[in-house]
Chains A and B, each alone.
Chain A
């Protein structure tokens, strides 16, 4: 075979395949489980889980109270359990306080409710700037916060993750939890955005 008609693996691909084949032969990983994890993160776990939590907190006062006192248990009650067993704390945005989540250490992220982090979350500029200049970070995301709003930055760890509960948009009285969930963006649950405001239909 000439070099043009055979396959080629990059160094990186060969490293991953070497790990995968050796570790599964030795029984440390299960290839089917690895494929399933990929599938799960592709299709089942994503920001829609967090949006469900947020919408429920907007419509169900008892749930909101539970979320305030024991976020981890309240979130688990909806079926969003963490594989890593860390705690999740819900932090509530208001006119007085806006919460922003970062992981300065590496990339700790509330996977069970938000899926995998977007690449900007993992980038060095975001990780360092969020702590030093949170207002500037929000401006990078197109948000200018009034000076009267305090910005609280939460640094995630392997034991503690944060979920921002954005403010419920105006003009959504009487909306169902399902419809409200559609307004909850991923960024609004990291604190780099707001929930969408409903389109006014004329």
Chain B
């Protein structure tokens, strides 16, 4: 996975604003939603509803945490993958990280 310099976003006259994406995962989560929509998985208004529910959940979370929660929920609602598979895959990624020397790219299935 590449780590683009997300602070270099073209925001002219960016007086004292912070970068649009603070971490690479935020950009990934953002782009996945755009791509799923382009594949016709959901209408944009459906996505807006899911995102709005998270934003208005009353939970104090950074914005892209809302985004990610909404993405997990719409993926479940559309039955794209099961919660068990998702959970297992998260464990697989943690295991892969633990088996990868610091600084090397983390690859699924690393032992």
What residues make up the interface of A, taking CB atoms closer than 8 Å to B? 1, 4-9, 11-23, 26, 28-30, 33-35, 37-39, 41-43, 46-48, 51, 83-86, 105-108, 115-120, 122-123, 157-159, 185-187, 193, 196
Contacts and interface: CB of A to CB of B under 8 A. Distances in A.
Contacts of A185: 12-13
Q: Majority SS of interface residues in chain B?
A: helix
Interface of B: 2, 4, 6, 8-15, 17-18, 20-21, 25, 27-32, 34-39, 41, 44-45, 47-48, 51-52, 55, 63, 65, 68, 71-72, 75, 80-81, 85-87, 89-90, 92-94, 97-104, 106, 108
A28 to B, nearest CB: 5
A18 B101 contact: no
A19 B93 contact: no
Name the residue among B20, B29, B31 with the largest chain A CB count within 10 angstroms: B31
B10 A115 contact: yes
Contacts of B106: 7, 9
Given A16-B29, A18-B86, A19-B72, A9 B12 contact: no
A12 B20 contact: no
A15 B90 contact: yes
Given A28-B41, A35-B2, A107-B63, A15 B10 contact: no
A158 B37 CA distance: 13
Given A5-B101, A18-B89, A106-B51, A117 B20 contact: yes
B38 A83 contact: yes
